[in-house]
Amino acid sequence: MIRMKTIWKSKEMSMFLILIIISLIITLKNPVFLSVENILDMLKSNVVLGIMAMGMLVVIISGGIDVSVGAMIAAITVIVGNFLVHISNNILLSFLVGGFAGIIMGGINGLLVSMLEIPPIVVTLGTMSIINGIMLYYTNGNWINDIPNNFINFGTKTPLGIPIQIYFFFGAAILTWFILKYTLFGRGVYAIGGNLLSAQRIGYNVKRIKLLVYTLMGFLTGIAAVVHTSIMKQVDPNAFTGFELQVIGAVVLGGANVAGGMGSVWGTIVGVLLMAVINNGLILMHIPTFWQRFIIGLIIVLAVSFDVIQRKRSEKQFVRVDVE
């Protein structure tokens, strides 16, 4: 029920246009970029980012933040890897274990944020450090290499010619879209991000919503961990150092407001694609990797400044007095 006019004016739309322009530039330099193979490859290597960005989108709309997701996914890949190697090679079970581990970790974040009302940045900084410490003690930084064959086979499946991991990304996106648009929990997420006090007054169970927000983040992180293992066919406990910044970056690039209350699934998809295209495209253009971070940072700063400038301008129009 959003009108075309507001879609065209939205921040999501401007990011989408930037995405198209960057894609065109890269294609001109290296036509390989637009090949089906490259596109699928690019998507596949960013599904983990995409799935987690969906969870982060919900967190950010609620007015929160979760910086423990990098540590969380590292820990869950280790848990799932060990489960597959030592306990059972059942694929469905591995997803259950991953999802469950995520729910527990995210749930702890959620409990601390909602019940004790500790600011989310403090809670998740704490849990990040705790999880990292335990992981280092437990793994000593060692990789897990002997992932069972049936799981590796599962990871190379391509139903309808599309890598199976991409389905998980779109599954996560559809799930998140439905939750945000059609469930009372989802509307509550927007409500507490927009005006916490009003949400309480109107009867939303704010504590439960916050608890669920971080639990959902954990659950999606758990699923992402299993998907990641199916792509890499091994577990590197250090693979996700600093990954939380990429996840948050993708959501912000997708037009979500870090102050809470604003953000959409389609915007976040654009944000993830933008990250993917920049990373992939710069490699295709043989540009050194450190420029990737530089350019992503630049786009985030530009996008947010543009947004702030536009808002200030519209506020100015708002206070106009009719002078005769």
Chain contacts with another protein (rule: CB under 8 A): 1-3, 6, 182-185, 187, 190-191, 193-195, 197-204, 261-262, 318-324
Taking the complex as a whole, the smallest distance from the CB of residue 61 to another protein amounts, in Å, to: 9
Distance of CA 65 to the CA centre of its chain: 11
- Cα 234 from Cα 46, distance rounded (Å): 17
Name the residue nearer to another protein (CB basis): 230 or 268. 268
Nearer to another protein, 11 or 228 (CB): 11
Q: How far is the CB of 25 from another protein (least distance, A)?
A: 34
CB nearer to another protein: pick between 160 and 323: 323
Work out how close the CB of 321 gets to another protein at its nearest, in angstroms, rounded to a whole number.
5
Chain mean position to CA 144: 25
In whole angstroms, give the CA distance from residue 278 to residue 296: 7
Min dist CB 62 to another protein, Å, is 12
Q: Establish how many alpha carbons lie within 13 A of residue 71's alpha carbon, considering only the half-sphere containing its beta carbon.
A: 19
Of 2 and 160, which has the nearer Cβ to another protein?
2
The nearest distance, CB 8 to another protein, in angstroms, is: 15
Instruction: Give 20 or 309: the residue with its C-beta nearer to another protein.
Output: 309
Tokens of 251: 């959501």
Burial of 289 (0-12, 13-18, 19+ CB in 10 A): exposed
Residue 3 CB, nearest approach to another protein (Å) = 6
Report the DSSP beta bridge partners of residue 144: 235
When the beta carbons of 107 and 193 are compared against another protein, the nearer one is 193
Measure the CA dihedral 116/119/122/128, to 10°. 80
- For residue 235, the SS3 value is strand
